[in-house]
Amino acid sequence: MLEKLKEEVYQANMMLPKLNLVTFTWGNVSGIDREQGLYVIKPSGVPYEELKPKDMVVVNLQGEIVEGDKNPSSDTPTHTYLYNKFPKIGGIVHTHSPWAVAFAAAKMDIPSLNTTHADTFYTDIPAADALTKEEIEEDYEGNTGKTIVRTFKERGLDYEATPAALVSQHGPFAWGPRPETAVYNAKVLETVAEEDYHTLQLTRQNSELPQYLLDKHYYRKHGPNAYYGQN
């Protein structure tokens, strides 16, 4: 079942250690088949060097295992919630990459300070609220998805234009049209988090990117008038 998607999700997961986005087993990628209403996700706690495409677990949009002999990622309820609430995404990645986690621990947005950021993210990458004691005890992973979606709604953000979020005191989630795109966005997020950290150490001046420069870099890669790359 979904053998092609399993291979795609497996390959996307294997990119995480190659891109230095994960330590040990601290990360996962999933990818969805919207027509069938099923998605594929990494199994929980399996070391990357032992992972195989056949280990990927198939889950439905109610969070139930459809196929697989291993437990799916412990973050499966988060992925399930995001797939249901963000209907245009095709892949999700969660990591504990250190520069992004630093901003999450500080409960700070990753601000738009340079064109590297603007090429991929149209706004600051938001830091969603940390979960309360009650939310953690009730449904930790499910409520992790809810705090992300709630933050985008409250701030009026477009989840396609800004395809990532931090969960305060936890870490980053990123998404995209395909699993490999989600991984790309996660790497960009980690890169700009590191760049922003150093910028904020170097100056107390306002380094926020002007809107006209953000627009130029974002729209040269996205939208009907994009011209970056090959036709």
How far from chain centre, in Å, is Cα 5? 18
Q: How far is CA 32 from CA 8, 39, 78, 202, in A?
A: 10, 4, 14, 42
Spatial CA neighbour of 16 closest among 39, 56, 49: 49
CA–CA–CA angle 74, 77, 80 (5° rounding): 130
Instruction: For residue 122, indicate whether it is catalytic.
Output: no
Instruction: For residue 119, indicate whether it is catalytic.
Output: yes
Catalytic residue among 33, 119, 129, 139: 119
Residues paired with 110 in a beta bridge: 125
Contact between 103 and 127 (Cβ < 8 Å): yes
Residues acting as catalytic residues: 119, 228
